[in-house]
C-alpha cells in the first residue's frame, strides 16, 4: 500500500469519526466543539501519527511510554508537535520520560505518582495537565483510584506545583452498561469540581462506547480503532 493511500484512509476514518461525534453532540443538545477527539495511535507507526497531524488531528494518545517516547521524538524530529495525551497505566519510574513529551496525563491515580509527575515536569521546565483516572468498579488492577478515595487525590494533585488538575477519566468496567458507568463518572466529576471548580474535563469513551459517553457529558473521547483501524494485538 502506498503512503498516499494510507493517508487517504486515515482522512476517511477521521471524517467519519468527526461526523459521528458531531451527530452524538447534536443528539445530546451540545455544541460539536464541546468534545475533543484524541486519536489513540498505540501499536501504529509514527508515520500514521504524522499523517494524522498533517490532516489537522492534533490531539494524539498513547498508553505505553516505551512506545510513546520514540514516537513523540520521531514526530518532533520531523517538526511536528501534536498535543500528546498519555492514557495508560503509569509507573512512577516512567514519570520523568512521560513528562518530557506529554501535555496531558489521563491516568493519575495515586498521590505518589502525582508527586513524581510534578517533580519531573519541574525538571523539564514545564507543567502537565492531569486527569484523575477513576476505577468505577473498584477493581484497581486495571488502574484508577476507587471512588471513595477521589477527593484526597484531587487535593494532592491541586497542591502539586507543576500539575494542573483538569478533571476525571475512566474506562467503562467490563460488563457494565456504558450509560451507568458514565453517569457514575459524572458524579465523580462533580466531587472533583468541589475541590477545583476549573477541573471540568471528562475523558470517557472509546471506539465501542463513545456515543454513550458523549450523551452522558464527556468532553474528551479517546478513539483508537475508529480512526486507525483494528490493532494486530491487544494493547
Ligand X SMILES: *Cc1c(COP(=O)(O)O)cnc(C)c1O
Identify which range of 9-17, 174-182, 186-194, 202-210 contacts ligand X by CB under 6 A: 202-210
Site track 129-168 with ligand X (rule: CB under 6 A), x = hit: ----------------------------------------
Dihedral angle computed from the Cα positions of residues 113, 118, 123 and 125, in that order, rounded to the nearest 10 degrees: 150
Site track 88-117 with ligand X (rule: CB under 6 A), x = hit: x-----------------------------
Q: Report if residue 17 touches ligand X, rule: CB under 6 A.
A: no
The distance between the two most distant Cα atoms of the chain, rounded to a whole number of Å, is 52
How many residues bind ligand X (CB under 6 A)? The answer is: 14
Which one of 35, 131, 160, 171 is in contact with ligand X (CB under 6 A)?
171
Our CA angle for 182, 133, 147, nearest 5°, is: 70
Residue 165: strand pairing partners: 130
Q: Report if residue 207 touches ligand X, rule: CB under 6 A.
A: yes
Identify which range of 2-10, 119-127, 155-163, 220-228 contacts ligand X by CB under 6 A: 220-228
Give which of 136, 155, 156, 154 is closest to 146, Cα–Cα: 136
Q: Report if residue 192 touches ligand X, rule: CB under 6 A.
A: no
Which one of 24, 37, 69, 87 is in contact with ligand X (CB under 6 A)?
87
Which one of 206, 213, 218, 220 is in contact with ligand X (CB under 6 A)?
206
Residue that is written with C-alpha cell 467503562 in the block:
172
Binding positions for ligand X, 28-57, rule CB under 6 A: 40, 42
Asked whether the beta carbons of 214 and 29 are under 8 A apart, the reply is: no
Measure the CA–CA gap between 94 and 96, rounded to whole angstroms: 6
Q: For residue 47, give every residue at least 6 positions away whose Cβ sits within 8 Å of its Cβ, in sequence order, or none.
A: 3, 6
Shortest Cβ 60–ligand X spacing (Å) = 12
Q: Report if residue 199 touches ligand X, rule: CB under 6 A.
A: no
Shortest Cβ 210–ligand X spacing (Å) = 8
Which is nearer to ligand X, 50 or 218 (by Cβ)?
218
Q: Which residues contact ligand X (rule: CB under 6 A)?
A: 40, 42, 63, 87-88, 171, 206-208, 222-226
Amino acid at each position: 500500500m502506498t503512503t498516499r493511500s494510507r493517508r487517504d484512509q486515515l482522512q476517511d476514518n477521521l471524517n467519519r469519526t468527526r461526523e459521528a461525534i458531531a451527530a452524538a453532540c447534536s443528539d445530546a443538545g451540545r455544541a460539536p466543539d464541546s468534545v475533543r477527539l484524541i486519536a489513540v495511535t498505540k501499536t501504529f507507526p509514527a508515520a500514521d501519527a504524522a499523517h494524522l497531524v498533517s490532516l489537522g488531528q492534533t490531539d494524539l494518545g498513547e498508553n505505553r511510554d516505551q512506545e510513546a517516547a520514540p514516537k513523540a521524538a520521531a514526530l518532533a524530529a520531523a517538526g511536528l508537535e501534536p498535543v500528546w495525551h498519555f492514557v495508560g497505566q503509569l509507573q512512577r519510574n516512567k514519570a520523568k520520560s512521560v513528562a518530557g513529551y506529554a501535555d496531558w496525563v489521563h491516568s493519575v491515580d495515586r498521590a505518589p505518582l502525582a508527586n513524581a509527575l510534578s517533580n519531573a515536569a519541574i525538571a523539564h521546565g514545564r507543567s502537565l495537565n492531569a486527569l484523575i483516572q477513576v476505577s468505577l468498579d473498584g477493581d484497581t488492577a486495571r488502574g484508577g483510584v476507587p471512588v471513595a478515595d477521589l477527593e484526597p487525590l484531587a487535593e494532592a494533585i491541586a497542591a502539586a506545583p507543576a500539575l494542573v488538575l483538569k478533571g476525571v477519566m475512566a474506562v467503562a468496567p467490563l460488563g457494565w452498561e456504558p450509560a451507568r458507568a458514565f453517569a457514575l463518572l459524572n458524579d465523580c466529576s462533580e466531587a472533583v469540581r468541589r475541590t477545583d471548580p476549573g477541573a471540568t474535563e471528562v475523558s470517557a469513551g472509546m471506539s465501542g462506547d463513545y456515543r454513550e459517553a458523549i450523551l452522558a457529558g464527556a468532553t474528551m473521547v479517546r478513539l483508537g480503532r475508529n480512526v486507525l483501524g483494528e490493532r494486530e494485538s491487544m494493547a
